[in-house]
Chains A and B, each alone.
Chain A
């Protein structure tokens, strides 16, 4: 059976069998297989990465050596990436040194009126480069502006020299940062002894001289030579020898006058050798005369030139003005040209006089002015750009607006109109608002609300207890409610006015005028309370002093009660609401008080 199969195989596959065997062998032989694969691996990787860029990340992710290699290949960009971090700090300190330097130079120049200085001023005037820059490039090769001695290990500042004022705050941070950067560079580039030795900061350089205990970092402006670096290295070595113990003693750091002096010695300014010193001929008098002439002449030209260019600028800023000629005259300029009557010339200074012909300008702003004039709608925004007129905002009258828009077509310069404006929204009618409000929140009885002159006017009566909810709600929805006609009622005050005071009277059918008005008050108060459902009945309690005959007293007493009830009816109180009670003399157990003749009031609520 197996023989048959082999036979069949050899019939079908023939010589391929040999090849398959060879492949099998290759797969089994590790060495040979590796060799084979390695021949195609490079191409295969390229192709895979091309199809799937993510693949590369997988490869490089876990290999710190590859990272180090990448950094090595790009040293410069890594240092560049660090510069922005320390740059601002150093620049700030250096800026200070520069300003001091500028002062020095200026003072020196002012004191020394030399031909050279004159020539430089002329150069500065012609080229527009600042005078200080020219002086620097002509006189100074380089200047060491800041010196930091930094502990190599901790990055702490050992001592510093240079201008300090604004720096005081930052010099420690700068030295720490320089050390951090050095660590970073060292870390990124491997530990093969390379150091951060120089970095560029704009037109300044930071040179770091690495010592055994401390680094010397100096900020230099200008073009310095390796000779300076040698000099600094030598100084660093000397400092390491002279101040060995100080460098190791943190207590002396930042407070070491001797060391500071040593560092200050490194703040040098290297001047260019003066090779064209005085020529010996005395031509000062001539020079001065020539200078005065040149000075006066150029001053005048300069002034005129300045005034003219200012005038040009002003004129150029005005839309709708075409300038043909500007002629200086005694006290200003005469400008001829074309002027659109709608142009705004109010910004021109008084010494500019216009002599122009009217014309229609197609400047966007002028077209816009013409449109504004035609529409005359203060709340309509008009904008014109390249012939496209855009209207936004509100207009009052729809009909009028439609007419006006048709007329816009005749204004020259408008090719398209984009009208986004809308009719002014009408404020909703106050009456309607009030109706809506009342539908949701029915009025308490006896309160009246009306709209008078676009204002809500409240009248009638309102119980204090209702004020809180109803009145507040009203105030939230409407502003400026006129409540001057509204009576505010307080139930307990009303109640008190009825019950607090009895009517003491002896006659059975007569009240004094004061008592009469008191009664009227009580009647009114009761009616109000009753109206607002705060009182059901008024109760009169008649009482007498019970002197003389008991029978007579009781009869008088009853008379007093019913008579007073009648008076209340006269005042408008419904008879059914009045209850009269008489206290019979037999019921009185206490000593009779002669003041207690009359009627007391109570209210049933």
Chain B
């Protein structure tokens, strides 16, 4: 069994923890619980690979998150479909840690269940295309495309 380190990247409250919970425990909580430092979860996929998922908090603090990204095999960028700013945060993080560009990555555009609040312009798609060619409109709440997104990343890893 191979272990692969995956990092969840995205600004505060975009739903990183919720997406991991949905994927690993198939569970969603409405209540917001701040992640302290890093939360680590594991999930075995198809008996050959084990994902070690690093759910990292504190992308607002410059440099603070960098040590946690070391040695990652794959990246999940997370943006919030209702918050265009969250896409800019992703671009800022990658500008700050250019080594991320070399890693297999997918992007989750999350909270798509909040249809009335979605606030999206084509320019944002372009911004995301600069990070990865694989993006998924997800909802941690309903589970839409979450499994699919993680599976896509695992395929990129092997």
Do A and B assemble together?
yes
Across the interface, do B67 and A176 meet the contact criterion of CB distance under 8 Å? Answer: no
Q: Check A156–B38 contact: CB distance below 8 A.
A: no
A-B contact count (CB 8 A): 60
Q: Is the Cβ of A250 less than 8 Å from the Cβ of B70?
A: no
Q: B1 in the interface, Cβ–Cβ < 8 Å?
A: yes
Neighbouring A residues of B39 by C-beta, 8 Å: 85
Contact across chains for B70 and A154 when beta carbons are under 8 A apart: yes
Chain A interface residue count, Cβ-Cβ cutoff 8 angstroms:
26
Q: What chain A residues lie within 8 Å of B64 (beta carbons)?
A: 187
Q: Which residues of B contact A81 (CB under 8 A)?
A: 36
Interface size on B, residues (CB 8 A): 21
Q: Are A153 and B70 in contact (CB under 8 A)?
A: yes
With a CB–CB cut-off of 8 A, which chain A residues contact B52? Answer: 155-156, 172-173, 176
Q: Would A151 and B37 be within 8 Å (CB), given that A157-B3, A172-B52, A253-B2 are in contact?
A: no
In the bound complex, residues from chain A placing their C-beta under 8 Å from that of B13 are: none
B71 touches A180 (CB 8 A): no
Taking a contact as CB atoms under 8 Å apart, the answer to whether B42 and A172 are in contact is: yes
A231-266: which residues lie under 8 A (CB-CB) from chain B?
250-251, 253-255
Q: Which residue in chain B gives the minimum CB-CB distance to A158? A: B3
- Please pick, from B3, B38, B67, the residue contacting A172 in the complex, using a CB distance under 8 A: B3
Instruction: Please state if B70 and A177 are interface contacts (CB–CB under 8 Å).
Output: no
In chain B, residues 91-114, which have Cβ atoms closer than 8 Å to a Cβ of chain A? none
B5, CB-defined interface residue at 8 Å: yes
Q: Contacts of A172 on B, CB cut-off 8 Å? A: 3, 42, 50, 52
Report whether A186 and B71 are in contact in the complex, using a CB–CB cutoff of 8 Å.
no
Assembly CA distance A169 to B71 (angstroms) = 21
Q: Which residue of B is nearest A84, CB measured?
A: B36
Expressed in whole angstroms, the minimum distance between the Cβ of A180 and any Cβ of chain B is 4
Complex Cα spacing A82 to B71, Å: 22
A176's nearest neighbour on chain B, judged by CB, is: B40
Q: C-beta contact mask, B48-84 vs A, less than 8 Å → 1, else 0?
A: 0010101000000000100110111100000000000
- Contact: B68 with A180, CB < 8 Å? yes
Specify which of A85, A183, A253 is in contact with B68 (CB 8 Å cutoff).
A183
A136 within 8 Å of B (CB atoms): no
Interface majority SS (helix, strand, loop, mixed), chain A: helix
- Once bound together, how far apart are the Cα atoms of A250 and B52, in whole Å? 14
Q: Would you call A156 and B5 a contact (CB within 8 A)?
A: yes
In the complex formed, the residue of A with least CB distance to B38 is: A180
What residues of chain A lie closer than 8 Å to B142, measured between beta carbons? none
User: B2–A250 contact, CB under 8 A?
Assistant: yes
Question: Most chain-B Cβ atoms within 10 A of its Cβ — which of A81, A173, A186?
Answer: A173
In the complex, chain A residues 133-185 whose Cβ is within 8 Å of any chain B Cβ: 151, 153-157, 169-170, 172-173, 176-177, 180-181, 183-184
Of A156, A170, A184, A187, the contact of B71 (CB 8 Å cutoff): A156
Contact partners of A156 in chain B: CB under 8 A: 3, 5, 52, 71
Note all chain B residues with C-beta closer than 8 A to A153.
70-71
Chain A positions 44-102 with a Cβ under 8 Å from a chain B Cβ? 81-82, 85
**Residues of B with C-beta under 8 A to A180:** 37-38, 40, 54, 68
Closest approach, in angstroms, between the C-beta of B17 and any C-beta of chain A?
14
A254 touches B3 (CB 8 A): yes
Nearest B residue (CB) for A250: B2
Contact B37 A82 (CB under 8 A): yes
Instruction: Tell me the bound Cα distance from A170 to B43 in angstroms.
Output: 10
Question: Across the interface, which residues of B come within 8 angstroms of A177, CB to CB?
Answer: 38, 40
Kindly state whether residue B41 has any CB partner on chain A within 8 Å: yes
Binding site for B on A (CB under 8 A): 81-82, 85, 151, 153-157, 169-170, 172-173, 176-177, 180-181, 183-184, 186-187, 250-251, 253-255
List the 10 shortest-distance A-B pairs measured between CB atoms, nearest first. A154-B71, A153-B71, A183-B67, A180-B38, A176-B40, A154-B5, A153-B70, A156-B3, A173-B40, A172-B42
Residues of B within 8 A of A (CB): 1-3, 5, 36-42, 50, 52, 54, 64, 67-68, 70-73
| 19 further interface pairs, Cβ-Cβ under 8 Å (given A153-B70, A254-B1) | A82-B37, A151-B71, A154-B5, A154-B70, A154-B72, A155-B5, A156-B71, A170-B42, A172-B42, A173-B40, A176-B5, A176-B40, A177-B40, A180-B38, A183-B70, A184-B37, A184-B38, A187-B64, A254-B3
A-B contact pairs, 29 of them (CB 8 A): A82-B37, A153-B71, A154-B5, A155-B52, A155-B54, A155-B71, A156-B3, A156-B52, A156-B71, A157-B3, A169-B42, A170-B42, A172-B3, A172-B42, A172-B52, A173-B40, A173-B41, A176-B5, A176-B40, A180-B68, A181-B37, A184-B38, A186-B67, A187-B67, A250-B2, A253-B3, A254-B2, A254-B3, A255-B1
